Chains A and B, each alone.
Chain A
């Protein structure tokens, strides 16, 4: 089919029906561009179309767990989850993965922790130091990271010494 405006082959064909009347337009590449009609295949689809709705992409695709940095794609590949926080970050996608692994089961009905453990002084200090250490490593403050690591080591030595003293006292009494 030839272009409506010249003898070149038409590459754009537009058919519209207005008031029950059918109208056809056939244009070659040059005349189509001059008319502001884009040519399929030359532009990305989102630029080609003016009216489109961005579908709800899965919440998790490409996002990382803020706690451990894992993506859902990595979880799916190895069937291994990164940390407790992943269960909140990827709640929707993990739901179907869990149901598949559990032959359709989706909710826990068994035991629940009967007492929320209160972290002791050692754990609280260790957790605080770990967070500071992570932040120091991320900020590439290696000298500070080394100091924090030494403090963590000392903390664990102190705990062991304290335990040994306690055991010594108990066996001596």
Chain B
């Protein structure tokens, strides 16, 4: 087996991204489900002032979501910088994003603040450290809602306490092919982990990509939750998937290669591509890239996962694409990228 191309990113053959996020609310302000228009606007003003004042990242951009077009909001969703819920909500809401796109702070999502740090590959420790630094900075400017027994208060009881949620986005095609995925999902349930799709809560898995995150935020320290994630959960997921890949390589090497090469050929020649079909085929090609069967970097495939999404295609075309034009542009983009 040849080593995958981009070795610089830890465990990128299985792990696409790791993310740490905090739910925080301001003291003396009603939560958003009970806030008046004026009250939610006040949270926005307070947050905006702090986002621009505090040195949260080298360069922080602030966006008022009401002032963005639906296309711009969709672009942010496709880049995992805001949630679908945040994009579609009718409240006053905004987002602060670092120019490297590692940090995003959603204001007036479900909670007043949702602070997240996202990195490619298995880098939970780095995302956690950066998140804690950002939280300490924000705390100097904001009075957070805190309770002696329940810690940081949140809108939903599932987020109280630390308010911390770690997520790892993993590519598990071999576990899917070997029908072992159900076993992983059962184990995750026993460990109180949530398994979701490519766009998080409420989304389906696309291209055999799953988001795994902790459900318990109370009764353990941030470090304990993080350590369990970094030292047991992520390594176990990587290990399961790699073992399944090895089994496939040993037992059905030709069949596996056939699936990868067929997917690659279709992507290189298709003239019309639906997003789901493209994700599915790219997933096989990604497996091929990870196993060294396809001369392609994992980064190229991961970027394609984002670039082939509808808003990105519309943005590239600088116009509103018809359904058919969208399929055509997607196929063209994939063909051009793979032939480079």
Binding site for B on A (CB under 8 A): 67-70, 78-84, 87-88, 94, 97-98, 100-117, 119, 122-123, 126-127, 130, 133, 149, 152, 156, 159, 163
Given contacts A83-B34, A108-B149, contact A101 B158 (CB under 8 A): yes
In the bound complex, CA of A160 to CA of B143 (Å): 20
* Chain B residues packing against A (C-beta within 8 Å): 25, 27-31, 33-34, 38-39, 42, 45-46, 49, 52-53, 135-136, 139-158, 160-162, 164, 192, 215-222
- The 7 nearest A-B residue pairs measured at CB: A105-B219, A108-B151, A84-B145, A117-B143, A101-B157, A82-B34, A110-B162
Contact B34 A68 (CB under 8 A): yes
Closest to A70 in B: B34
Is B46 touching A78 in the complex (CB atoms < 8 A)?
Answer: no
Interchain CB contact under 8 A, A111 and B222: yes
Which residue of chain A is the closest to B45 with respect to CB atoms?
A156
Assess the A68–B30 pair: CB atoms within 8 A. Answer: yes
B135 contact set on A, CB distance < 8 A? 111
User: Please, which residues of chain B bring their CB within 8 A of the CB of A79?
Assistant: 156-158
CA–CA, A57 and B172, complex, Å: 51
Contacts of A98 in B (CB 8 A): 150, 157, 160, 218
The closest CB in chain A to the CB of B145 belongs to A84
How far in angstroms is the closest Cβ of chain B from A15?
51
Indicate if the CB atoms of B162 and A163 lie closer than 8 Å.
no
Return chain A residues, CB-CB under 8 Å to B164.
110
A126 to chain B: which residues have CB within 8 Å? 42, 45-46
Given A78-B33, A79-B156, A110 contacting B161 (CB threshold 8 A): yes
With a cutoff of 8 Å between Cβ atoms, the chain A residues found around residue B25 in the complex are 84
In the complex, chain B residues whose CB is within 8 Å of the CB of A83: 29-31, 34
* B-chain residues with CB within 8 Å of residue A88 when the two chains form the complex: 147
Question: CA separation between A116 and B34, bound complex, in Å?
Answer: 25
Nearest Cβ distance between residue A115 and chain B, in whole angstroms? Answer: 6
CA distance A152 to B37 in the complex (A): 13
Residue of B27, B34, B140 touching A115 (CB-CB under 8 A): B140
Shortest beta-carbon distance from B151 to chain A in Å: 3
Task: Contacts A67-B30, A84-B29, A163-B53 known; list 15 others, CB within 8 Å.
Answer: A80-B155, A84-B28, A98-B150, A102-B160, A105-B161, A107-B219, A109-B220, A109-B221, A110-B161, A110-B162, A111-B135, A114-B136, A117-B142, A159-B45, A159-B49
